[in-house]
């Protein structure tokens, strides 16, 4: 799949088939994530891959308001960054790489908020994360239950400005 095709096909998928995702594919996805740009090239991330059903259930319960569907996923990546100046930008760039590489392989995924969420501390305790790391995102992965097309409300001509801000 070409880059623009993957970008255009990526959607938030919140319903998954009960089918495992091969370990090698998850490794490819994390490999894509660690290739993201980082401020000052410090690479502050840690990627925790969760595949155990009981832990996925607990994660879905802890983050119930935002990501109860984690319970149904085959896997979930908890993306942490060391608490650096640009941790959020660095972690967000890596998150997007995960979403795109998942799409590239036909996998469904969804960015579930981690940063600033009250449940971040409980997630960190569950996963044994030491102090000094920030939860940027939780990314459930699974084979999509149904085809979903991308819907964007703002068109290219609504968002693009040439040379200066014009409306």
Ligand X SMILES: Cc1cc2nc3c(=O)[nH]c(=O)nc-3n(C[C@H](O)[C@H](O)[C@H](O)COP(=O)(O)O)c2cc1C
Residues that bind ligand X (CB under 6 A): 11-12, 14, 66-67, 110-113, 150
CB nearer to ligand X: give 23 or 150. 150
* Residue number, 27 or 57, with CB nearest to ligand X: 57
Name the residue nearer to ligand X (CB basis): 6 or 162: 6
Closest separation in Å from C-beta 11 to ligand X: 4
- Cβ pair 80, 134 in contact under 8 A: yes
Cβ atoms within 10 Å of 26's Cβ, excluding its own: 21
Q: Which residue is nearest to ligand X (CB)?
A: 66
Query: Do residues 12 and 111 make contact, with C-beta atoms less than 8 angstroms apart?
Result: yes
* Shortest distance (Å) from residue 129 CB to ligand X: 19
Write the DSSP symbol of residue 147. Answer: -
The continuous run of DSSP H or E covering 113 comes out as strand 112-113
C-alpha closest to that of 56 among 46, 69, 65, 45: 69
* Smallest gap from residue 102 Cβ to ligand X (A): 12
Closer residue to ligand X, CB minimum distance, 119 or 133: 119
> Would you tell me how many other CB atoms lie within 10 Å of the CB of residue 88?
15
Residue found under tokens 């981690």: 114
Minimum distance from CB of 44 to ligand X (Å)? 18
């Amino acid at each position: 799949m070409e880059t623009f095709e993957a970008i255009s096909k990526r959607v938030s998928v919140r319903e998954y088939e009960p089918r495992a995702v091969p370990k090698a594919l998850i490794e490819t996805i994390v490999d894509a994530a660690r290739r993201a740009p980082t401020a000052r090239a410090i690479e502050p991330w840690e990627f925790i891959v969760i595949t155990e059903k009981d832990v996925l259930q607990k994660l879905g319960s802890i983050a119930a308001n935002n990501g109860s569907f984690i319970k149904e996923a085959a896997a979930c990546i908890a993306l942490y960054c060391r608490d650096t100046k640009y941790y959020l930008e660095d972690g967000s760039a890596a998150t997007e790489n995960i979403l795109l590489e998942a799409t590239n392989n036909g996998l469904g995924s969804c960015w579930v908020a981690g940063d600033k969420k009250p449940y971040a501390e409980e997630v960190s305790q569950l996963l044994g994360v030491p102090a000094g790391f920030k939860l940027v995102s939780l990314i459930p992965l699974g084979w999509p239950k149904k085809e979903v097309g991308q819907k964007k409300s703002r068109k290219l001509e609504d968002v693009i400005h040439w040379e200066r801000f014009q409306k």
